[in-house]
Amino acid sequence: MGGNGSSPCASCKLLRRRCAEDCIFAPYFPSDDPHKFAIVHKVFGASNVSKMLQELPVHHRADTVNSLVYEAGARVRDPVYGCVGAISYLQNQVQQLQMQLAVAQAEILCIQMQHEPLLHAPTLHLPSEDDDDKSSFLLHNDFSHHHDLGFSPSSPRDNITFQGSLKTEGIFGHEMFS
């Protein structure tokens, strides 16, 4: 009976038939777990499950039965959406958690940038009256602490020199320096 010699498998017991030695259900629906077959039978039907299992290689059958049990349980809990409802719910949870993670990472980055010492802040050297060329200035900037923002300087300390005529208008439209 059912390969184990003691009692019929859960499917044969539910269907009230004699469990043969080569019963396709016996290895996957043991007699001590009748609910497992009952739910699969209710949703898919015994003959459909039997056909499915017969078409599969033996090494894939256990996984298939586990999948059918899960899908049948989801269909019983949610007759309209079944597994799709569970999958959609989980996908929404993942999206919400990804958004929360991105917000937390942005907050951490803001806090780190606020607490950086002023030594790492960009310094702007404007020309003084002693300089020969008053229209040039030197911008010194240490970009080494901005690697996490996607900057990749060619050297740890980049010097950028701007030369030429620099004209800036003030609030009242007057040139501030040229």
Please tell me the predicted confidence (pLDDT) of residue 40. Answer: 96
Q: What is the mean pLDDT of residues 141-164?
A: 43
User: Residue 63: is its pLDDT beyond 60?
Assistant: yes
User: Residue 126: is its pLDDT beyond 70?
Assistant: no
User: Residue 57: is its pLDDT beyond 70?
Assistant: yes
User: Residue 93: is its pLDDT beyond 50?
Assistant: yes
Please tell me the predicted confidence (pLDDT) of residue 122. Answer: 57
3-class secondary structure for the chain? CCCCCCCCCHHHHHHCCCCCCCCCCCCCCCCCCHHHHHHHHHHHCHHHHHHHHHHCCHHHHHHHHHHHHHHHHHHHHCCCCHHHHHHHHHHHHHHHHHHHHHHHHHHHHHHHHHCCCHHHCCEEECCCCCCCCCCCEEEEEECHHHHHHCCCCCCCEEEEEECCCCCCECCCCCECCC
Please tell me the predicted confidence (pLDDT) of residue 144. Answer: 43
Tens digit of pLDDT for each residue in 26-47? 999 999 999 999 999 999 999 9
Q: What is the mean pLDDT of residues 83-87?
A: 92
Tens digit of pLDDT for each residue in 166-175? 444 444 444 4
